[in-house]
């Protein structure tokens, strides 16, 4: 269930400062699937939450020096066990898509919801992640009827050449058929 303020009732909430108001909160019409792992291809730490809340310690890993000053977020993170953390209200504009375009309309952050799967392009996602993603997607589609299967995309689809996630390991056919 999504409450009146755009929060998923059953999710763990960790508020990210990396968001702003949508120009039109009623214009949510796109769902973007991402992946993230920090450090790359490593799972199970608190680093993703630290990153989305601007608390990532650059001294913890060499890769973190490259990203520690970035200000990014996502609406949701689904970890390898299928647990969901929400960082930004669906009513707000999370900073997940960057330079992006869908169906001729730029700035996908303005009208999209971003879901990060803890993962990497070439590493299979877990059954628990697919189960949680399907449940959340169905809730979002019911709450935002302009999000249809045709308006669910990967980050790579809206930022081609710049992004590759969720990558070839993401089973789109399984995901779409589980939505029915």
CB-CB contact of 165 with 156 (8 Å)? yes
**Whole-angstrom distance, CA of residue 133 vs CA of residue 160:** 23
Task: List, as one string, the DSSP characters of 114-179.
Answer: EEEEE-BTTBPPPHHHHHHHHHHHHHHHHHSTT--GGGEEEHHHHSTTT--TT-TTS-HHHHHHHH
Which residues form the catalytic set? 116
Residue 154, phi then psi, degrees to nearest 5: -90, 160
Residue 110, phi then psi, degrees to nearest 5: -60, -30
**Whole-angstrom distance, CA of residue 126 vs CA of residue 159:** 25
Residues 144, 125, 64, 53, Cα dihedral to 10°: 30
Instruction: Please compute, for residue 96, the number of CA atoms within 13 A of its CA located in the half-sphere on the CB side.
Output: 36
């Amino acid at each position: 269930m999504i409450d009146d303020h755009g929060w998923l009732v059953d999710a763990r909430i960790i508020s990210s400062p990396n968001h702003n108001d949508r120009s039109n909160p009623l214009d949510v019409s796109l769902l973007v699937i991402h992946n993230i792992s920090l450090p790359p291809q490593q799972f199970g730490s608190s680093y993703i939450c630290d990153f989305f809340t601007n608390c990532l310690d650059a001294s913890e890993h060499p890769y973190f020096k490259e990203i520690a000053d970035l200000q990014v977020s996502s609406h949701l993170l689904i970890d390898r066990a299928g647990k969901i953390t929400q960082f930004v209200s669906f009513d707000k504009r999370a900073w997940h898509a960057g330079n992006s375009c869908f169906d001729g309309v730029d700035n996908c952050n303005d009208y999209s919801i971003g879901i990060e799967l803890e993962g990497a392009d070439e590493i299979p996602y877990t059954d628990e992640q697919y189960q949680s993603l399907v449940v959340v997607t169905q809730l979002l589609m019911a709450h935002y009827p302009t999000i249809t299967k045709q308006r669910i995309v990967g980050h790579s689809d809206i930022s081609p050449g710049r992004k590759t996630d969720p990558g070839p390991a993401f089973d789109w056919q399984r995901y779409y058929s589980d939505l029915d």
